[in-house]
Amino acid sequence: MSINVSQLLKQYGEQKAVDGISFSLQKGEIVGFLGPNGAGKSTTMKIITGYLPPTGGSASVCGYDVATAPLEVRRRVGYLPEANPLYPDMYIREFLEFAAGMHHMGKGTSARIDEMIARTGLTPERHKKIGALSKGYKQRVGLAQALLHNPEVLILDEPTSGLDPNQLADIRQLIRELGENKTVMLSTHIMQEVEALCSRAIIINKGHIIADGTISTLRQGTSGFIQVAFAEETTPAELENLPGVQKVTPAEGNAWRLYTAEPETVRKNLLQFALINNRNILSLQSNSLSLEDVFRELTN
């Protein structure tokens, strides 16, 4: 396993920022690590990368424990923190040469820096100081630094923060390519990004993991809704009694929303209800919840 976390605990006084969480990530996975602000995402990432010591439990990267072999972990991890620490007075290439020196990269460093500048889209700005860059380009510099030493594992905390739509497309494509032979763990508040990039999502709330699975599995575990409109007057009480219906709310016109985790069952029961009660269905539409809806339902 590229990343293994077991009963991880981080406590500040009486407050448990991370409370006994466990999960593992395999090579070739791009996993979204999601949660509200203060849920424990950044704390977990900092522990995995060796920037924070755990209070209890364990975390390992490529078989190396973050507490007992921190240097071996850092050799194998590329980390882009949420706060993206950069030196504004350095030029882009100068900063990447500095980062390469910290990793003792040696021979081939210049060619690798050229490659990372090109792959992260920094070529048009390569002669500028970091302080003169836009937020989006600073984010690219941070990503180039994380990739520079060709790590096996990438930990990316809000990697697309500050990027415009064109930059977003470029960086997403780069992350997809990297995920083919690396392990990528990324945190973001943009659910569309998770749906576009990730094969799996882990949702954390108040220090606990509340969901872990593929995007389709997470959607199936929560309710979607069916919207139905009748030509004749229909009461919510009639619809609430149908098997599989969890809740009924009014929609526009003479339509109702029937919330359910069993959409096919409810569709069949609606058709049977209409036939038995001489009702004419004007429209019938199934709506699965988006990942954002799932996130809100789970974290609320």
Q: How confident is the model over 8-29, as pLDDT tens digits? A: 999 999 899 999 999 999 999 9
Average pLDDT of the chain is: 91
Look at residues 186, 198, 201, 98 and name the one whose alpha carbon lies nearest to residue 139.
Answer: 186
Tokens of residue 79, six digits: 């980390």
Superfamily of domain 3-213: P-loop containing nucleotide triphosphate hydrolases (3.40.50.300)
Average pLDDT over residues 133-161: 93
For residues 250 and 231, give the distance between their C-alpha atoms in angstroms, rounded to a whole number.
15
**pLDDT (0 to 100) of residue 292:** 83
Task: Say how far residue 95 (Cα) sits from the centre of its chain.
Answer: 28
**pLDDT (0 to 100) of residue 222:** 61
Range in 12-26, 137-151, 172-186, 211-225 with the lowest mean pLDDT: 211-225
Q: 167: pLDDT confidence band, cut at 50, 70 and 90?
A: confident
Burial level of 213, CB count in 10 A (0-12/13-18/19+)? middle
The better pLDDT of the pair 216, 223 is held by: 216
Look at residues 147, 173, 142 and name the one whose alpha carbon lies nearest to residue 158.
Answer: 142
Q: Which residue has the tokens 């999960």?
A: 23
**pLDDT (0 to 100) of residue 220:** 66
Tokens of residue 70, six digits: 């921190």
Domain boundaries, the chain: 3-213, 222-299
Q: How is domain 222-299 classified at the CATH fold level? A: Alpha-Beta Plaits (3.30.70)
Q: 156: pLDDT confidence band, cut at 50, 70 and 90?
A: very high
The DSSP H or E segment spanning 113 is helix 109-119
Q: Percent of the chain having pLDDT more than 70?
A: 98
pLDDT digits 0-9 by tens, 220-245: 656 678 899 999 989 999 999 999 89
The DSSP output letter for 27 is T
Q: What pTM did the predictor assign?
A: 0.79
**Which is it for strands 200-205 and 208-213: parallel, antiparallel or unpaired?**
antiparallel
**pLDDT (0 to 100) of residue 219:** 72
pLDDT digits 0-9 by tens, 43-98: 999 999 999 999 999 999 999 999 999 999 999 999 999 888 999 999 999 999 99
